[in-house]
Structure 1
Amino acid sequence: MAHTHANVIKVSGCSVIMIHVHVIRRIFLFCRRSFKMHYYRYSTAEVSCCYKYLLFTYNIIFWLSGVVLLAVGLWAWSEKGVLSDITKVTRLHGFDPVYLVLLVGMVMFVLGFAGCVGALRENICLLKFFCGAIVLIFFLELAVAVLAFLFQDWVRDRVKEFFENNIKAYRDDIDLQNLIDSLQKANMCCGAQGPDDWNLNEYFNCTLDNNSRERCGVPFSCCTPDPAQSVVNTQCGYDARLPGISSNTRNTPIYEKGCIPVLEGWLPRNIYIVAGVFLGISLLQIFGIFLARTLMSDIDAVKAGYHI
């Protein structure tokens, strides 16, 4: 009987110890959970998948366009040997169109990348950078348009000066040469104010010490096209401005109007087209700003919907 009583006491003691261990373990787990941070959602706010992937699609097109422009610009520099000898950049005269292509491509690449990653990762910083940059570009475009309208004479003088400087560098850069030829052919014009502007170029001027075969001539893009010839005559402008030769006695007729007067006449006639292009670009930018701001608002609302 004593042996049985001892066993009961022993079992009871073990049970008490097990109960105490279990209680201590529960207290430990409760304390650990109490000091652990939990986020509790108390609102139904969520990020709109529609706006998120619309912004991503918008920016992937933006980014791919930037990649294409960068590739074209680098290819053009490669053709001119600039990539093999980077010092040639400093020796280029006049306006190199590749600069503009590379600049626009770089801006589109950076903004497109920031917008894509910001939309996918729901990154507020990248979205703010993208949105702020688009807003800045939009207001810069608006400011340039307003200033160009208010100071038309100043803009006309700067365009004339720009055109004349590039006439001087016509033979120095193949891209610049192609740009001027395309401009003259498309607008049926010659020079800035007229054919005599080609006296500014060392190959086409009429000075006595000019031994070039192109002396007193104009580029072939100044010649009026001959429907009977299927092949472009690149020598059609030779001797077109020799002293004593008038527009009626030239062997090959050339455009008599300068490109600046032609462009000044073209702009009022096509003002609705120009306005439509600028309006379309502005609407695309405003649409991108709207998507970015909406997505940022959704992300902020979701973050505000959680508390510790």
Structure 2
Amino acid sequence: MGANEEKGGTCGTIFLKYLLFTFNFLFWLAGGVVMGVGVWTLVEKSEYISLLPSKTYAASAYILVLAGAIVMVTGVLGCCATFKEQRRLLRVYFVLLLCIFLLEVLSGVLAYIYYQQLSVELKHSLRETMVKKYEQAEQDHVTRAVDKLQQEFKCCGSNRSDNWADSLWIRSARAEGRAVPDSCCKSPTAGCGARDHPSNIYRVEGGCASKLENLILDHLKIIGMVGVAIASIQVTGMVFTCCLYRSLNADTL
């Protein structure tokens, strides 16, 4: 008997087929959501990734994009396997579900590990980045990221505005007497960073490090929640697949 031989099937088998088809449609939609979250993380905050002490955050987002793409392909494969009652395809489908599940778990573990390390690492690394890389040769992406961070979150310096006193750029002639970059100003204009006064410069408790930390933590929570939600759905799908596979085997006896 061929693997793709059509079966009449019992009521239980027919019920499982439609249940698994519905699951696969929802699974396909979920794949789009997962991939969308990963792409959004990489595109929306791509400049800030250059300010982070490690690539773990970016790796988590890339894993989500990969998992989302595989989920969408797997959803289509699951629909074909379900309605054609091909047990071989069901086995392939189950393996793909398991692989996606492991990818989601890996993404969640990376997000959790980075969540624990972020606070201590970020405060030190952001200060080093601002001091040594801002307005330096071949570091335009860092300069843009720092300026955007300070303007978007209305902050100045890693921990406080006087962190800029140690900046290689501030201490050079190219700074033209500025105490802080112009992006620290409440109303940015050329050269406004020369006047280091609370009425002109943002003074935020914890500086930009605390703002960036909160941003990344919020994103990590989203990545974690999406990963857990999809992983839970995948477990359900694997159970349905096993049940249908067993039911098809029983029908052939």
Band of TM-score, shorter chain = 0.5 to 0.7
1:259 aligns with 2:208: yes
Corresponding residue for residue 153 of structure 2: 187
Q: Number of aligned residue pairs: give it.
A: 229
Query: Which residue in 2 is equivalent to 1:100?
Result: 58
Q: 2:25 aligns with which of 56, 72, 77?
A: 56
* Aligned mates of 2:211, 2:68 — CA distance in 1: 35
- Work out whether residues 134 and 143 of structure 2, in 8 Å CA contact, stay in contact via their aligned partners in 1: yes
State the shift of 1:280 in Å: 4.3
Give yes or no for the alignment of 1:299 onto 2:248: no
Pair 1:274–1:70, CA change in 2 (3 A): closer
**Equivalence map 1:195-214=2 (5 Å):** 195-199=161-165, 201-203=167-169, 205-206=170-171, 210-213=172-175
Which stretch shifts more, 57-66 or 183-192? 57-66
- Cα pair distance change 1:70/1:277, threshold 3 Å: closer
Q: 1:109 to 1:306 in 2, by over 3 A?
A: same
CA offsets, 1:140-182, max 9 Å, x none?
Answer: 5257537845xxxx54331123323442434456654454344
Shift of the alpha carbon at 1:200? 5.5
The 1:69/1:237 distance shift into structure 2, 3 A limit, reads farther
Letter in 2 for 1:307: T
C-alpha root-mean-square deviation of aligned residues, in Å? 4.7
**CA positional deviation for 1:212:** 0.7
Partner residue in 2 for 1:156 = 119
Gaps of 5+ in 1: 1-35, 78-92, 226-232, 242-246
Larger radius of gyration: 1
* TM-aligned CA deviation for residue 278 of structure 1: 6.7
Following the alignment from structure 1 to structure 2, what is the Cα–Cα distance between the partners of residues 213 and 160?
24
Q: Helix, strand or coil: the match of 2:173? A: coil
Q: CA deviation at 1:104?
A: 4.9
* Contact 1:223 1:253 (8 Å CA) reproduced: yes
Partner SS state of residue 180, structure 2: coil
**Residue in structure 1 matched with residue 226 of structure 2 by the alignment:** 281
Determine what percentage of the aligned residue pairs are the same residue: 12
The question of whether the paired residues in 2 share the 8 Å contact of 1:56 and 1:119 is answered with no
Cα distance in 2, alignment partners of residues 107 and 37 from structure 1? 34
Summarize the Cα distance change of 1:199–1:105 in structure 2 as closer, same or farther, 3 Å threshold. Answer: farther
2:105 alignment partner AA: F
Aligned partners of 2:210 and 2:119: how far apart in 1? Answer: 10
Confirm whether residue 224 of structure 1 aligns to residue 177 of structure 2. no
